[in-house]
A and B are shown apart, each in its own frame.
Chain A
Amino acid sequence: MNSRVLQTTITFLVVGGILLLALSGFFGSASRQFSSTMVNLQTWLATRFLGLQDFITAPRDIVTLRARNAELESQVSQLQAQVIELQQRVNETEILAALVDFSRANPESTYKAAAVIGRDPSPFLHYVIINRGSNDDIRRGMPVVTNQGLVGRIDAVIADAARVQLITDPASAVNVYLQNAVTDAVLEGSITGDVSLDMISQDSVVEPGDLILTSGLGGGYPPDLILGQVVTLRTLEFELFQQATVQPAVDFSRLEIVLVITNFRPVDIAPLQPQSSP
């Protein structure tokens, strides 16, 4: 009995002593080493276990991820298509808003909007095809404009489409006047799509930047439609007229929507022109 009490007392004393030493900080370094070893061991075990778990479950995850990836990719492509469509609509809306502003600013004319759907297959001619035709009361000779200025005029019409001769076409000639110089001239297109002014009187003082507008002479176009600006002037003393290169107001490479002036009827002045006698 005494020996048992002694054993218990010794055990308590040893344990109590150890605890006392530990609480007093005498086992600090040993404790740190132990915990560090334990943490390393646990880390090693956990890493290996996760690796093993990945190895076992990976095939199932790849299939799931691939399906999810395909789903997301399809969603992304759908959203991209939507974004493109919306951007296109925004562009169209901007163009239409500008055209509406233009038609409000020029209420004397009535307009019909049309989309440009094609160009002449020949690189030597400058014509565009629009998606309005005789069914929409479009007639040959009607002027075509944008909010920037004159585009051209209707050259041929079928039921649902029409062909527009641009002012850049080599066969196009528009009677114009220069706003600042107050002089008449003729704006001509060319095969390469450049436009130039001809028949400017030698007496006229023309400056680069002068605005060019339709004069209405000849009855082919209504007056006061903007065409462009003078870029450079060529004056040769031995020639009858001055010539000028022109920067068109309209960007013909980006024609999308145009307005056809439907209440303008061109005047055919051919019968009034003097016939040359044989």
Chain B
Amino acid sequence: MRNIVAFPILGLAALLQSAVIGQIQLLSGYADLPMLLLAAWALQDRVKSAWHWAAAACLMVSFLSRLPWPIYLFGYLGIVFIAQIMQKRVWQAPMLALFGVTFAGTIFMHLLSFAILRLSGTPFAIMEVLGLITLPSLLLNMLFSIPVYVMMRDLSRWVYPIEAFE
């Protein structure tokens, strides 16, 4: 039942991404709010599983995007996987883990997008795309990841109160 909260949160995130975050551009890149929410949620101590959050995020975002839905499914599941690995490795420094997941998650999502664009025959110069889209997106994701992490920490404390956690 606690996982139901994923739907309004990620639904709102997808709408914000489409209507607001997409307008805040740095060169041609912008932040990926659903990905940041997912990464921050997966890194919370009290959260035992974030796989269904990945599925919900895929559902919400692929409804708005022209990119094929498997990109988002594999991308978001991959981010949860990366987050779980990072959480185990650097559990004493959550912010370091957050930046690590944000960095790896952004690169992973963009690599998947490159792959599908190549497969669909879209021509692009990789260095230009890295400079104009990937790096600015990475920077914005890093910036946005801090407030998102704080929000998700508060949300996890609300969803999993201390009695339930113990």
> Which residue of the partner chain, among A117, A123, A127, A163, contacts B30 with CB atoms under 8 Å?
A123
Contact B133 A121 (CB under 8 A): no
Say yes or no: is A14 at the interface (Cβ < 8 Å to chain B). no
From B29, B61, B64, B124, A190 is in contact (CB under 8 Å) with B124
Q: How far is the CA of A193 from the CA of B32 in the complex (A)?
A: 18
**A129: chain B residues within 8 A (beta carbon):** 18, 64
Would A124 and B117 count as touching, CB distance under 8 A? yes
Interface-facing stretch out of B19-27, B91-99, B142-150: B19-27
Asked if A122 and B18 sit within 8 Å, CB to CB, the answer is no
Residue of B23, B29, B32, B122 near A119 (CB, 8 A) is: B23
B18's partner among A121, A123, A165, A171 (CB-CB below 8 A) is A121
Place the interface of chain B in its size category: 20 to 34
Distance A125 CA – B133 CA, assembled complex (angstroms): 11
Give Cα distance in the complex from A86 to B21, angstroms: 24
Q: Is B66 an interface residue (CB 8 A)?
A: yes
Q: Does A191 contact B (CB under 8 A)?
A: yes
How far does the Cβ of A147 sit from chain B's closest Cβ, in whole Å? Answer: 21
CB distance from A194 to the nearest CB of B (A): 9
Per-residue A-contact encoding for B25-48, CB less than 8 Å = 1, 0 else: 100111010100000000000000
Contact of A125 among B15, B25, B65, B129 (CB under 8 A): B65
Distance A117 CA – B132 CA, assembled complex (angstroms) = 25
Q: Determine if A118 and B61 form an interchain contact, defined as CB atoms under 8 angstroms apart.
A: no
Shortest Cβ distance from B132 into chain A, in angstroms?
5
Closest residue of B by beta carbon distance from A155? B66
Q: Give Cα distance in the complex from A75 to B15, angstroms.
A: 32
Is the beta-carbon distance between B117 and A121 smaller than 8 angstroms?
Answer: no
Q: How long is the Cα–Cα vector from A165 to B122 in the complex, in angstroms?
A: 15
Q: Are the CB atoms of A118 and B66 closer together than 8 Å?
A: no
Residues of A124-175 contacting chain B, CB below 8 A: 124-125, 127, 129, 155-156, 163, 165, 170-171
A122 to B66, CA, bound (A): 8
Using Cβ atoms and an 8 Å threshold, which residues of chain A touch B133? Answer: 123-124, 191-192
Q: Does B137 contact A (CB under 8 A)?
A: yes
Do the beta carbons of A121 and B124 come within 8 Å of each other? no
A123 adjacent to B65 (CB under 8 Å): no
For B29, list chain A residues within 8 Å (CB): 123
Are A125 and B132 touching (Cβ within 8 A)? no
| C-alpha spacing A156/B67, complex, angstroms | 13
A73 within 8 A of B: no
A129 to B18, CA, bound (A): 9
- Range, interface on chain A: 20 to 34
Q: Quick check: B122 and A122 within 8 Å, CB to CB?
A: no
Cα distance A192–B137 in the bound complex, in angstroms: 13
**Given known contacts A170-B124, A171-B122, A253-B25, is B67 in contact with A124 (CB within 8 Å)?**
yes
Give the complex CA separation of A227 and B46 in angstroms.
54
Bound Cα distance from A125 to B122, whole angstroms: 11
Q: Which residues of B contact A124 (CB under 8 A)?
A: 67, 113, 117, 129, 133
Q: How far is the CA of A165 from the CA of B19 in the complex (A)?
A: 16
Q: Which of A171, A192, A193 has the most CB of B within 10 A?
A: A192
Distance A123 CA – B23 CA, assembled complex (angstroms): 11
Check A118–B19 contact: CB distance below 8 A. Answer: yes
- Contact partners of B128 in chain A: CB under 8 A: 192
A120 partner residues in chain B, CB cutoff 8 A: 18, 22, 64-67
Assembled-state Cα–Cα distance A127/B117 (Å):
15
Bound state CA distance, A121 and B117, in angstroms? 15
Min CB gap A116→B, angstroms: 9
Minimum distance in angstroms from A89 CB to a CB of chain B: 19
- A165 CA / B65 CA spacing, docked (Å): 11
Contacts of A171 in B (CB 8 A): 120, 122
Q: Which of B25, B64, B123, B129 contacts A121 (CB 8 A)?
A: B64
Asked if residues A121 and B137 are in contact (CB atoms below 8 Å), the reply is: no
Most chain B Cβ neighbours within 10 Å, of A118, A121, A124, A129: A121
Q: Which residues of A contact B (CB under 8 A)?
A: 117-125, 127, 129, 155-156, 163, 165, 170-171, 190-193, 253
Report 6 cross-chain contacts, Cβ distance below 8 Å, ordered by A residue.
Answer: A120-B18, A122-B65, A123-B28, A170-B122, A170-B123, A191-B122
